[in-house]
Amino acid sequence: MENREIAIQCNNISKHFKGVYANKNINLTLYKGEILSILGENGSGKTTLMNMLSGIYQPEEGEIYINGELASIHSPKDAFTYGIGMVHQHFKLVEVFTALENIILGINDRRSVKEITASIKEITSKYGFEIDLNKKIYNMSVSEKQTVEIVKVLYRNANILILDEPTAVLTPQEIDKLFFVMEKMRDDGKSIIIITHKLNEVMRISDRITILRKGEYITTLNTNETNEKEITEFMVGRKIDLKLERLRILAGPPVLEARNLRILKDDGTVAIENLNFFLRGGQILGVAGIAGCGQKELCEAIVGLRPYEGVITHKGESINGFTPQMIKDIGIRMSFIPEDRLGLGLAPDLSITDNLLLKTYDEKKGILVDRKSARNDAVQLIERYKVVTPSTETPVKNLSGGNVQKILVGREIGNDPNVIITAYPVRGLDINSSYMIYDILNEEKSKNTAILFVGEDLDVLMTFCDKIMVLCHGVNMGIVHTKNTTKEEIGLMMTGSLDLTKDNKKIFGFADDSLVTDEKWEELLREDQIRRKK
C-alpha cells in the first residue's frame, strides 16, 4: 500500500475553537484508488477534519498535500480546484431546481444544454447512476437526491470524494447500489473518504480505517486485518461489550391502540393514511421507512402535538384531541423523544436544570417552581448517563449531540413512563452513546413499558425490536415479526414493491388482540366524526 500514489497527506493538522482543540496533530493518508473510512466517537474531530479538507475551515497548524503538492484550501471553491468534493449528510440542493440545474449551478460552462447533458450522461453511464435530469429535486427520493449530489461533484472533476453518513436513510437495496457505484469509482482511480457509524458497512466497503479519538489521531487499520470489536476499542479507548440484543420477555396486553389514522403534513398533503396498529406493554414496535414517509407526523399525533382523523386509545380510553398536558392530567405517563432534539425536544438556550423543570411545570400551580429539586435531579441525570458538561446550569446548546441526547432521554425516562414514543434516538451518536440508549430502552421494556421505536438502521431494527411496521408514502405495508423476516423483505416494503397487509400472518389483527372491541371502535370513530363536524 505504501508504494501507491498518495492523493491526500495531512501532517500534524490542528484546529481549535475558543481554546479547545477539535483536531490536534492529526496525520492522515489517503491513497489514490481506495476507500478510507474515518471513525470516531462524537466529538472526535471527524467533521472538523473533513471541513478543512473541503474548505469550510482552515487549519491553524500543519500542512495538507494534494497529489504530492502543498495545498492552500481557503474555500469550497479552492477544494474543487484541487479535485475535492464533499457530499454532506444534509444535501446542499435547490429544491425547486431540476437535477440538471443543480449539477451545473455555479459553474461557468458556456456549452449548449445538449452538450452539457451529454457530458453528464457520460458520467452517469460510466458509474451506473440512474437519474432523471429534468426532475425537480422536491419530487425526488433521498436516494435520487444523493445521486444528484455525487454527480454534481463528479461533474466538477472531483477525484477525491468525501461522503458524510451516505447510507443514513437508504434502503438495503439503495445501499447496495451506492456501494456498487463507490467500488466502480475506486476502480477508476478515484479516492473516497466515508464517514459512518455503521461498523458493518465499514467492514464491507472500506479498504482501510482511520480512527480518531478526542480530536487526536489513534491509528489506521487495514480492514481485512481487523474486526468490529478491535475497531470499537480503539475508538473508545477501552474494552467494550458490543452486545445489542432483543430482550425476550412475555409481552402484556395492548396499551396504546390506533385505528384509521389519517394525518396531514404542514403543507396539507397526506403524511399517514388509514393506519392501524397497537403497542403492547413490554414490547418494542419498530417503524421502518424511507425518510419523510410520515414517521415524524405519526409520533407528533400520538403525543398530542398534531391533529389527526381516526381514533387513538390508551388502555381502552380515547385520547383524541388531547394536548400533551391533557394526556398528562388524566394520569397517562407518555414520554416523547423526538428527532429534533434542540427544537421539539429541549429548549437550547435554557440550562440542563431548566430543561428538567419544563417537564414538571404546571401552569395551574402558578409560577412557583422547585429549582433545588430540579438541580438535584440534573446532578443525578449527569452522573447516571455520564453527561459531559461544565455544570447543571450550562445551556444545552453548548453541549455535544451525544450529551444533548442523553439529557433528553434521561429527562423523559425519569418520569417513569408506560408509553415511550421515540424517533431516531441514536441518530448521529457514537457507538458508546448508542449502546447506552439501547440499554436504557431495554430496561424500560423490562418494566412492561410499551415502546414505539422509529429507526433508520435496519440491522438495529431487526436485532432490537420485537416487530417492525413498515411505511411507504404514509401507508402501512405490513407489520412483521423480526424473527420471521429479512432486511431484503423490509427494503422491498419500504419502496412499495411488497405489500403484506393482506397477509394475516404478517400484520396485526385487532379482533383477537385488541383491548377495544370492534363495536367499541365503531362507536369511538362515530364520536370522533361527530366531534369534528362540530
Grid cell digits, residue 533: 363536524
Summarize the chain as % helix, strand, coil (round to 5). 35, 25, 40
Indicate the range of 112-116, 460-464, 500-504 predicted with least confidence.
500-504
What is the domain count for the chain?
2
pLDDT band at 363 (very low <50, low <70, confident <90, very high): low
Residue 519 corresponds to which amino acid? E
Q: Are residues 186 and 260 in the same domain?
A: no
Provide the pLDDT for residue 458.
87
Provide the pLDDT for residue 387.
86
Instruction: For residue 53, give the nearest of 27, 91, 86 by alpha carbon.
Output: 86
Q: Which domain holds residue 309?
A: 254-333+416-533
Cβ pair 464, 438 in contact under 8 A: yes
Indicate the range of 177-186, 191-200, 284-293, 425-434 predicted with least confidence.
425-434
Provide the pLDDT for residue 133.
94
Q: Are residues 227 and 282 in the same domain?
A: no
Name the domain boundary from 206, 236, 266.
Answer: 236
pLDDT tens profile 41-93: 777 888 889 999 999 999 999 999 999 999 999 998 899 999 999 998 778 89
CA distances from 292 to 405, 423, 471 (A): 22, 12, 10
Q: Are residues 312 and 445 in the same domain?
A: yes
Q: What is the CATH number of the domain that holds 510?
A: 3.40.50.300
Mean pLDDT of 466-470: 94
Provide the pLDDT for residue 509.
45
Residue 279 placed within a domain: yes
Residue with cell 434542540: 342
- Report the distance separating Cα 165 and Cα 158, nearest Å: 19
Provide the pLDDT for residue 290.
84
Mean pLDDT of 422-447: 86
pLDDT tens profile 159-208: 999 998 888 767 778 888 899 999 999 999 999 999 988 888 999 999 99
Using alpha carbons only, what angle is made at residue 54 by residues 82 and 22, rounded to the nearest 5 degrees? 135
- Report the distance separating Cα 491 and Cα 506, nearest Å: 15
Q: Are residues 194 and 64 in the same domain?
A: yes
**DSSP β-bridge partners for residue 450:** 283, 419
- Report the distance separating Cα 308 and Cα 376, nearest Å: 39
Q: Determine how many CB atoms are found less than 10 A away from the CB of residue 228.
A: 13
Grid cell digits, residue 26: 492529526
Residue with cell 403524511: 271
Does 25 have pLDDT greater than 80?
Answer: yes
Q: Are residues 213 and 152 in the same domain?
A: yes
Provide the pLDDT for residue 241.
67
Residue 167 placed within a domain: yes
Q: Determine how many CB atoms are found less than 10 A away from the CB of residue 76.
A: 17
